[in-house]
Structure 1
């Protein structure tokens, strides 16, 4: 039996592919972020913590997912920050408000260049939501 939420790397020829599942959209966004960080081998500094808030809008769940992960990549690449605490709220109009807790990145094994829309479709099933995300590396 599959856990209620999680992520798993899939074999892919050129890029990285990640399957993600969760009972709801905030959970799917959090697991997508955790999976992206796991793929890149990210580690953050212990102790000194930083908070960061994000507010985004997406026309649909797929756009919101890509914008959220792209914002996390920007914070990683431009500010050197990674996050391991997520409090995410998404309203019925696909407006996202997130409070993130994290720290300075101390290790990054591989760089993810971008989150793609390649075959991106959030699917609903009896357990909640599922998506496969392809990352450009």
Structure 2
């Protein structure tokens, strides 16, 4: 079986939703995590006007940076009804993230994700890059 360089798969979890995510580097891993979260929630964006949003933050550990990034995307969806489907991410020393995301107003959202959890989250380096399992509270 030929596995793509980066991607995500929904995996079984008892009460919540979980994704296995992989990518050749940390920015690609974060992008796939965001795309996977959108796929789980079945986010569909309005056609037409595109909206750009930028943000940056720090975290004491890389897993914290991933949770903050995904929570920021959830927050924009909840507060401003914005969803994103294009991501430009850089991760610097000391777990600093800079992100420019592009998207639109949310046309529909079929499933609600309440939060991103730290449950068993461990970003690991592999021969082909990085991988992580993310559990979402629904």
Same fold by TM-score greater than 0.5: yes
**Correspondence for 1:4:** 5
CA distance in 1, matches of 2:57, 2:76: 14
- 3-state SS of 1:2 partner: coil
Structure 1 residues not aligned, in runs of 5+:
none
After superposition, the C-alpha distances for 1:70-98 in whole angstroms (9 at most, x for unaligned) are 11110010110000110101111211011
CA distance in 1, matches of 2:66, 2:5: 19
- 4+ residue runs over 6 A deviation: none
After superposition, the C-alpha distances for 1:2-27 in whole angstroms (9 at most, x for unaligned) are 11100000011100000000011111
Structure 2 residues not aligned, in runs of 5+:
none
CA distance in 2, matches of 1:129, 1:84: 21
Alignment of 1:1-137 (within 5 A): 1-137=2-138
TM-score normalised to structure 2 length: 0.98
How many angstroms does 1:47 deviate by?
1.3
How many pairs does the alignment contain? 137
CA distance in 1, matches of 2:125, 2:101: 26
Q: CA RMSD in A?
A: 0.6
CA distance in 2, matches of 1:131, 1:96: 18
- 3-state SS of 1:129 partner: strand
TM-score normalised to structure 1 length: 0.98
CA distance in 1, matches of 2:101, 2:18: 24
